[in-house]
A and B are shown apart, each in its own frame.
Chain A
Amino acid sequence: MDLAQAIAQPSVDWHALSPDIVLAAAACMVLIADLFLPEESKWLAMPLSAAGILGTLAAVVSLAGEHRTTLGGAVEIDTFALVFKGLFCVIGLIVLAMSFGYFRSGRYYQGEYYFLMLCSLLGGVVISSARELVTLFIALELISIPAIIMTALRKADVKSNEAALKFFLFSVLSTAVMLYGMSLVYGITGSTKLDEIRSSIASSADEPLVVLSVIFVVIGFAFKISAVPFHFWAPDTYEGAPSPVAAFLSTASKIGGFVGLLVLMFRAFPEVADTWRPAFAVLATLTMTVGNLIALRQQHIIRLLAYSGIAQSGYVLVTLALIDPSRPEANAQALESAIVYLVIYGIMDLGAFAAAVAFARKTGTYFLSDYAGLWRRSPVLATLMAGFLLSLAGTPPMAGAWAKLFVFAAAINSEVYWLAAVMGVNAVIAAWYYLAVVKRMFLDSPEVDEPIEVPYLLRATMGVAAFALLAVFIYPAFITSLADRSLL
């Protein structure tokens, strides 16, 4: 092999791996830099991390439109992978903006935090292009394990310890179950590559074993995405964790789980969809309904967002209950609506968390009753929060409206009317508690009149996020054209 050919066709496609490599390098850099930075300038880890994520984003953009596979098919770069890699980068940047003031003012190890966050984010970036069971598994664990430590960063706080322990135990349990399922899949098909699994699993004679293995894998993921009835850890963990970490868990970690699930279900197991589709229908119904009903009674903004986030997972699960390989058109629509939902959800949920963090930074409280009359104390914060909540509720003029409508349309298109109806009812229940917060912020009178100043960085970040949601509502093709091309 001469040199020219080796450069033109390397055995490892470094360019395809460049986002992952850049992010991994950035994480290491942050860790090393932290060793040498004096105490008062530890905060520099944050801009360093941001630069690393921006570099990753640049690498993602440089791959736009490409379709490559490398590492023997374990990694595949396509529009689906790039959309989610990009989304993880954006999530990372927003979480950084939320974390900056929070970790700088408290007694935290800032350097470690940013290092852990980048590692966890790396898991998300890797999982987006993973097309092989072991890679998927490692990426998923890479998301979870640093996140557990991040949850425990408030070392002196019992709640933080409790949160981390709960998260740890549930995570380990789910990992064990999932790994068992994966080993069964390997046993049946003799391969860990998704495409090979797909072609051989359908011909497997041992149907009960197939069902068992798929169900184990699904249960493992159900923990990660906090689907009911595997959701118990989530609200407690979110509440106890530092709130930027809660935001990270509720978006990056959850979306990471969903990406893995989508890849598996659309790529590896569609041929046996008849066996597991009903499971997703039940899971989706339970997740939406239980999440929303419990959210109705919450008095703590983080817990409210936790339960509402569970319900939001339910809407995405609906799309998985629509998979039917015999109807490629309906199948594509289901996948597309799932992608659109996840992208929009990531932004609007983070926005709401950011607003809660900004509020708590000045007032030190997370209770909804303290949001009364927020509009008089900070018109900007109240307006932004209202925008994010309206988007989560799915009302125009925010992007969340399309997210819900697309999933709804996909359900009708696949003729699963009852699931569409369940979704509609749930959207109404959800609108109630989101709007109740809006009402409290604008219509009620504040107990204290003291104005709230929102830190500049947070304000700018939330402003951009809100503007993006508005822009996507006005011209949804921004996202849908990408989702359109993201076939698995």
Chain B
Amino acid sequence: MNWVDDWALSLGTFLPAVGAAVLMFMPARSEKLVKAVGTLFAFLALVAGVVVLARFDFSNAGALQLQVNESWVPQINARYHIGIDGISLPLFVLSLLVSFLCTIYMWWHIPEPGKPKAFFALVLLLETGMTGCFVALDLILFFTFWELVLVPMYFMIGIWGGPRRAYAAVKFFLYTLFGSLFMLLGFLALYFTSDPRTFDMIELTRQGFGGSSELFQNLVFLGLFLGFAIKVPMWPFHTWLPDAHTEAPTVGSVLLAAIMLKMGTYGFIRISLPILPDAAITFAPAIGILAVIAIIYGALCCLAQTDLKRMIAFSSVGHMGFVMLGIATLTDIGINGAIFGMVAHGLITGMLFFLAGSIHERFHTRDIPALGGILQQMPKFGSLLVYSAIASLGLPGLAGFWGEMLALLGSYNPHPELNETLFRVLMVGGGIGTVLTAGYFMWMLQRVILGKVPDKFASGHGIFDVVRLEWYAWAPLLILIIAAGLYPKLVLGVTDGAVQTLLGALG
């Protein structure tokens, strides 16, 4: 099985890109064929993901497995080094799954101006970038995948987006580019101070930067922080997100929320914490404070939104706040909670964006006050919306609960070198956030699901309940939401070993 072990990760990462290349050379006229080929490649990548799951040694989840380490750019000692452990495995599989589901959803709907060939190619390219980020163990490789994500998303928003698409696309692009520049500077600084010079994350962790000056460590950490924090996005770097989410086509919003945002938080866990542990402890309180501001600010913004998609976008700011709070505690519980939160947010918010997109397709509006009585007109659709919304607000028994709970639990007893009082205050702040979250979701449901059907839609013209393709695209998410909620060990059992290894580096 050596061949499989060597290639499974690479295939999962690059099959979508191959698919995109194949699509480019296909005639655009045969739309069915284009869609079939696009879906096929996403499916093959998912199969590779399943193989990775099968070959992964769960009893040793703390160690990096299925590693490939080949020479790539010898001049700067950048290597093609990939591997997977308990932290990246859930995210890797999640990206493959969600991307595949997106390709299914795209059979039923691609927004104006159509052009399925280009749209599928971009989604597949995006998939390669995202999955690559989660397996890269070399900083240059990571950066390449990170930038690779930027371009397709820019075009997706800019071409297939809503009325303010150009503005949203450029804002998204500039924000992320700005952040990634500082990130690159941080990477280069690490490279040029390491001895022997290397971009390898594992090697850099082993070398450690405890010997270099505190100022250096803090500056590098800040550089990486800017790159990651903009992607997450953390308050106050979040302003690109509502615009990007609102204007992006449904599939774009789903991929953005479900996976791309995780690249930022994953970067913190994979790169910043182990390589610069001292600086991480220095900055943890600040990150915690920003995270709680994001939680409360996000919730308050949600209360003020009338656009359904924009509301979900702001709810992402809050949820990612919980993830960052979990990371900032630098504890086993907190970081496990953060990873759980990332997965849960991927499933739930991905689902919510699907639903928001489908609402727009049926009613041609996402304006919350204009909608109403969905449960009467489309009982199944309405139930799904209720299900996803209460999962998102953190009802016990569904996936959303554990991430928030563990993050709050972690901040009760933060890392011994952190200020306990501060983190307990942060815990209370986060707790208030959960209440507000429940509040805005219930209020949204009340306005959209319940009440009278507005006169405009009373005829029921063009309004239909969940169609079969939607079921196909959504069922896995719906099942995983409750599965992870009832049996959190599904995720935590995988992540815990790797988190222990990580914390070993923090001391």
A406 nearest CB neighbor, chain B only: B75
Q: CB-defined interface of B143-177 with A at 8 Å, one 1/0 digit per residue?
A: 11001100100010011000001100110010001
Binding site of A, secondary structure by majority: helix, strand, loop or mixed?
helix
A485 near B: Cβ within 8 Å? no
Residue of A nearest to B143 (CB): A396
Whether a CB of chain B sits under 8 angstroms from the CB of A468 is no
| A443 at interface, CB cutoff 8 A | yes
The complex places the Cα of A443 from the Cα of B118 at a distance, in Å, of 14
User: Is B211 positioned at the interface, with any CB of A under 8 Å from its CB?
Assistant: no
Q: Closest residue to A397 on the B side, CB-wise?
A: B148
Which single member of A401, A405, A408, A443 contacts B165 (CB below 8 Å)?
A: A443
Contact B147 A396 (CB under 8 A): yes
Contacts known (A375-B159, A395-B147); A443 close to B177, Cβ less than 8 A: no
Give the docked Cα–Cα distance between A405 and B192 (Å).
13
B151 pairs with A390, CB closer than 8 A = yes
**Of B73, B76, B118, B177, which is within 8 A of A379 by CB?**
B118
Q: Which B residues are in CB contact (< 8 Å) with A379?
A: 28, 115, 118
Q: Which residues of B contact A428 (CB under 8 A)?
A: 181
Q: How far is the CB of A430 from chain B (nearest CB, A)?
A: 13
Q: Does B462 contact A (CB under 8 A)?
A: no
CB distance from B131 to the nearest CB of A (A): 15
Q: Are B159 and A396 in touch, CB under 8 angstroms? A: no
Judge whether B75 and A480 touch: CB under 8 Å: yes
**Complex alpha-carbon distance, A295 and B402, angstroms:** 53
- Residues 372-415 of A, flagged 1 when their CB comes within 8 A of B and 0 if not, give 00011001000100000010000111000110011011001000
Instruction: Kindly identify which residue among B24, B115, B192 contacts A412, using a CB–CB cutoff of 8 Å.
Output: B192
Smallest CB separation, A118 vs chain B (Å): 34
B124 → chain A closest CB, angstroms:
14
Contacts of A439 in B (CB 8 A): 158, 166, 169-170
Is residue A442 within 8 Å, beta carbon to beta carbon, of the partner chain?
yes
Provide the bound-state CA to CA distance between A401 and B399, in Å.
41
Residue contact A442 to B144, C-beta cutoff 8 Å: no
Interchain nearest-CB distance for B327 vs A (Å)? 27
A76 at the interface (CB under 8 A from B): no
Cα distance A475–B72 when bound, in Å?
A: 7
Which residue in A376, A409, A442, A443 is a CB contact (below 8 Å) of B76? A409
Say which residue of B75, B147, B148, B158 sits within 8 Å of A442 (CB atoms): B158
A390 to B148, CA, bound (A): 12
Quick one: which of B24, B74, B188 contacts A480, CB cutoff 8 A?
B74
Q: Is the CB of A443 within 8 A of B159?
A: yes
Tally inter-chain residue pairs, CB-CB below 8 A. 59
Q: Within the complex, what minimum Cβ distance (angstroms) separates A360 from chain B?
A: 24
B113: Cβ under 8 A from any A Cβ:
yes
Q: Is the CB of A443 within 8 A of B73?
A: no
| A406 in contact with B76 (CB, 8 Å) | yes
Contacts of B24 in A (CB 8 A): 383
Query: Which residue of B has the minimal Cβ distance to A480?
Result: B75
Q: Confirm or deny: A476 has a beta carbon within 8 angstroms of a beta carbon on chain B.
A: yes
Q: Is the CB of B166 within 8 A of A336?
A: no
Q: Are A442 and B159 in contact (CB under 8 A)?
A: yes
Q: How far is the CB of A444 from chain B (nearest CB, A)?
A: 7
B159 touches A397 (CB 8 A): no
State in angstroms the CA–CA spacing of A442 and B181 once bound together: 24
Residues of A near B76 (CB, < 8 A) are 405-406, 409
By the criterion CB–CB under 8 Å, are B144 and A477 in contact?
no
Does A431 interact with chain B (Cβ within 8 Å)?
yes
Residue of A nearest to B158 (CB): A443
CA distance A336 to B75 in the complex (A): 9
User: Shortest CB–CB separation between residue B244 and chain A, in angstroms?
Assistant: 14
Q: Is A12 an interface residue (CB 8 A)?
A: no
A35 at the interface (CB under 8 A from B): no
| 8 A Cβ contacts from B127-150 to A | 143-144, 147-148
Q: State whether the Cβ of A435 lies closer than 8 Å to any Cβ in chain B.
A: yes
Contacts of A401 in B (CB 8 A): 144
CA of A406 to CA of B75, assembled, Å: 8
Interfacial chain A residues near B170, Cβ < 8 Å: 439, 443
**Residues on the A chain within 8 Å of B143, using CB:** 396
Sort A-B residue pairs by CB-CB distance and give the 9 closest, nearest first. A443-B158, A396-B147, A443-B166, A396-B144, A476-B73, A480-B75, A409-B76, A412-B192, A397-B148
| A-B contact list, 30 entries, CB within 8 Å | A376-B113, A379-B28, A383-B24, A390-B151, A395-B147, A395-B151, A396-B144, A396-B147, A405-B76, A406-B75, A408-B188, A409-B76, A409-B188, A412-B188, A424-B185, A431-B177, A439-B158, A439-B166, A439-B170, A442-B159, A443-B158, A443-B166, A443-B169, A443-B170, A475-B72, A477-B71, A477-B73, A480-B73, A480-B74, A480-B75
